[in-house]
Chains A and B, each alone.
Chain A
Amino acid sequence: MKILIGLINGMISGATPILLAALGGAYTYYAGVFNIAMEGMLLTGAFFAVLGSYYTGSWLIGVLLAVAGALLLSLIFILFAVVLKTDEFVTGIALNLFAVGATTYMLRKIFSVKGVFSNPAIQPIPSIRLPLIENIPLVGEILSGQNLMVWVAVVATLLTYYLIFQTRFGLRLRAAGYNPARLDSSGVPSNRMRALSLLSCGVLCGLGGAFLSLGYVNLFAENMSAGRGWISLAAIILVNGNPLGIALISLLFGFSDGLGLLLQGYRVPAQFTAMVPYVATLIALYFYAARKRRLKSA
């Protein structure tokens, strides 16, 4: 029982940063931007969250700063990929490396440490206790005590779904990806929709990064996003950008994250358990490819 609850809780906290980043990527996916900068945005968000939380003692300011930091990366992306028409792939890779370099540099410059900065003065994002529900066995133990950012991710999933499929904004967003020339000729600049999608991506990745450094753990480590941005990209591709599908896939990755921690209890070397989410991605990709092939031959 305890193992099950631990596994589910591990799944939820493992899924949250991937879910937030992937939702951000969904906006750009629909707007037809090949955006691979989620990794860098997560990392930047994580750094600025710690920066804000450490200096002001308020996790809220940390989160806001994280969003601002990730938005800065979005703006650079917009400047190069949308305004100057630089290749999106190039921009993404350069931004990811920029994020690694800049956060390492600032870690050294501002906190005078190399590798990891952890300090009791960093205020974590609080967990939410649900007074009545927490008494229900099993369900209560899972629903109550989750990090605030987990609930933000849930809201973000529904909101993203609503925005993309039920609003005029969403329609234009999808049109920008589907047929930009048509959108341009109907009076809505497709570049504006692309820029908006990147800004949305920045906000969500900033939140995801803040969860990484103020929720998942309470510190900043060099390159702590550890491929989560890439996994979120895989998640988007696997479900063709559908927000609800993304939530499901993220939970699957979160589960493999939790499974890895569980396997460590059975004396499997830590390095192998850490591989589990990446292997899970490969397996998911296998099923995706198989389905696509079936559809093609049918």
Chain B
Amino acid sequence: MRQKLFNALIGILIALLLGAILLLLQGYDPLATYESLFRYSLFGYYPFATTLRNAVPLVLPGLSAAIAFASGVVNLGQPGQLVMGALFATVGGLYLDLPPGLMIPVLALLAMLGGMLWAGIAALLRRLFDMSEFIVTLMLNMIADYFTAWAITAPFKDPAAFSPMTPQINPNGWLPKWGEFNTMILFMLAAVILAWFIFNRWKAGYEWRITGQNVLFARLGGCNINRNFVAVMLVTGALAGLAGGLVVMGGPHRFIRGLGANYAWDGVMIAIVANNGLIATFLYGLFFSAIQTGALGMELITNVPNEISQVLQALLVLVIVASREYLNTAVEQLAARRRAREART
């Protein structure tokens, strides 16, 4: 555990150093840039609330990817599942009229249903025709992108709007705010806890993890590989879909173009950086969200374009993962050398 933390900190430090060199080369002041980057994301009531809120669409797809990868399921369909979830929640919010106490859970469920449906297609194709979910989910992402683009330009378009977007959903489906803290954060925390519990404490989660580590062992031990595969696809689809629904219900209250942004891919990256650990995914999600959130404030103060945050993120991913694997082999090498020396004496 301490080794893991140490590796992560080293990785982050090296990445930030490299980022600082990049900034220096472009004639910016790296210290002032980083200072404003974190001042506008972590220190203060409003910045911190915004960072937490922005973390929601990163952490949920991140959890989805982490559970899928750790279970040996290559679900890369989070982007598609996210926008389908958002679409389902939006359509539900447009046509349903329930009291808020009922409306919000129903919309969240609808969002999860949308994500599950989209992941379910990939699961079905794999089960029926043995088509690799890796490519299928990637292609379904593009198809979902165009499908939602069509849905908000033709059938559900707001007649009063000039660009493609739906009307606002029923205000009963809006997520309430406490001061600056949007309640979508609660959904995220609940999802993290629930996912951790299922994955690490339940029998189902145990079977998924074992399947991810050794399919043959799992099968011999009596796990139903096929059923588990479908279950993992559906659960991870639901998580990604929920993210989309929450973005709609907590943010613009409608489906606007480009709603999915890069959230889901960032989530996948976060899961990879976290080595598919659920708690680590949550923490890295917060960290990446801090960088994205702070970038806007940084642009105001230092004139560094906020797009640099994307470059910084990719740098962080590469360096953290590389340093983790490099340090791990280095530690193993040291141990092996010591054993060799002991054997000689």
Residue of chain B at shortest CB distance from A231 = B139
Cβ-defined contact, B147 with A271, below 8 A: yes
Knowing A292-B130, A293-B130, the reply to whether A285 touches B136 (Cβ < 8 A) is yes
B117 to nearest A CB, angstroms?
Answer: 16
Is B310 an interface residue when CB atoms closer than 8 A count as contact? yes
Cβ-defined contact, B146 with A86, below 8 A: no
Interface 1/0 per residue, B138-164 and A, CB below 8 Å: 111111001101100110000000000
Cβ-defined contact, A104 with B307, below 8 A: yes
Knowing A87-B325, A94-B269, the reply to whether A285 touches B317 (Cβ < 8 A) is no
Contacts of A89 in B (CB 8 A): 272
Contacts of A216 in B (CB 8 A): none
Knowing A105-B305, A105-B310, A271-B153, the reply to whether A285 touches B321 (Cβ < 8 A) is no
Is B326 an interface residue when CB atoms closer than 8 A count as contact? yes
Contacts of B315 in A (CB 8 A): 98
Cβ-defined contact, A227 with B262, below 8 A: no
Knowing A108-B307, A289-B132, the reply to whether A80 touches B139 (Cβ < 8 A) is no
Contacts of B265 in A (CB 8 A): 93, 97
Is B234 an interface residue when CB atoms closer than 8 A count as contact? no
Number of interface residues of A (CB under 8 A): 42
Cβ-defined contact, A101 with B129, below 8 A: no
Interface 1/0 per residue, A217-229 and B, CB below 8 Å: 0000000001100
B133 to nearest A CB, angstroms?
Answer: 10
**Segment 289-329 of B: residues with Cβ below 8 Å from A:** 305, 307-311, 313-315, 317-318, 321-322, 325-326, 329
CA distance A84 to B318 in the complex (A): 10
Interface 1/0 per residue, A78-106 and B, CB below 8 Å: 00100011110111011101101110110
Cβ-defined contact, A97 with B131, below 8 A: no
B129 interface neighbour in A108, A279, A286, Cβ under 8 Å: A286
Residue of chain B at shortest CB distance from A105 = B307
Cβ-defined contact, A278 with B129, below 8 A: no
CA distance A237 to B74 in the complex (A): 16
Interface 1/0 per residue, A271-290 and B, CB below 8 Å: 11011001101100110011
Cβ-defined contact, B318 with A80, below 8 A: yes
Knowing A97-B262, A275-B142, A282-B139, the reply to whether A289 touches B310 (Cβ < 8 A) is no
A86 interface neighbour in B130, B314, B318, Cβ under 8 Å: B318
B335 to nearest A CB, angstroms?
Answer: 18
Is A2 an interface residue when CB atoms closer than 8 A count as contact? no
Is B135 an interface residue when CB atoms closer than 8 A count as contact? yes
Contacts of B311 in A (CB 8 A): 98, 101-102, 105
Residue of chain A at shortest CB distance from B153 = A271
Cβ-defined contact, A97 with B310, below 8 A: yes
**Segment 104-150 of B: residues with Cβ below 8 Å from A:** 125, 129-132, 135-136, 138-143, 146-147, 149-150
Is B268 an interface residue when CB atoms closer than 8 A count as contact? yes
Contacts of B125 in A (CB 8 A): 282, 286
Query: What secondary structure prevails in chain B residues at the interface with A?
Result: helix
Cβ-defined contact, B307 with A285, below 8 A: no
Cβ-defined contact, B308 with A278, below 8 A: no
Contacts of B268 in A (CB 8 A): 93
CA distance A139 to B244 in the complex (A): 50
B325 interface neighbour in A84, A94, A282, Cβ under 8 Å: A84
CA distance A295 to B34 in the complex (A): 57
B321 interface neighbour in A90, A97, A274, Cβ under 8 Å: A90
Contacts of A90 in B (CB 8 A): 272, 317-318, 321
Cβ-defined contact, B135 with A281, below 8 A: yes
B305 interface neighbour in A109, A230, A275, A278, Cβ under 8 Å: A109
CA distance A295 to B138 in the complex (A): 26
Contacts of A76 in B (CB 8 A): 318
Cβ-defined contact, A289 with B130, below 8 A: yes
Contacts of A108 in B (CB 8 A): 305, 307
Is A233 an interface residue when CB atoms closer than 8 A count as contact? yes
Residue of chain B at shortest CB distance from A238 = B135
CA distance A286 to B124 in the complex (A): 12
Knowing A85-B326, A87-B321, A227-B142, the reply to whether A233 touches B150 (Cβ < 8 A) is no
Interface 1/0 per residue, A232-253 and B, CB below 8 Å: 0110010000000000000000
A101 interface neighbour in B131, B147, B313, Cβ under 8 Å: B313
Can you list 25 A-B contacts with CB-CB less than 8 angstroms, sorted by A residue number?
A76-B318, A84-B322, A90-B317, A90-B321, A97-B310, A97-B313, A101-B310, A102-B311, A104-B307, A105-B305, A109-B26, A227-B141, A230-B139, A237-B135, A271-B149, A271-B150, A274-B146, A275-B142, A275-B146, A275-B147, A282-B125, A282-B139, A285-B131, A286-B131, A292-B130
Chain A residues close to B by CB (< 8 Å): 76, 80, 84-87, 89-91, 93-95, 97-98, 100-102, 104-105, 108-109, 226-227, 230, 233-234, 237, 269, 271-272, 274-275, 278-279, 281-282, 285-286, 289-290, 292-293
Leading 9 A-B pairs by shortest Cβ distance: A101-B310, A98-B314, A271-B150, A105-B307, A94-B317, A86-B322, A271-B146, A278-B139, A278-B142
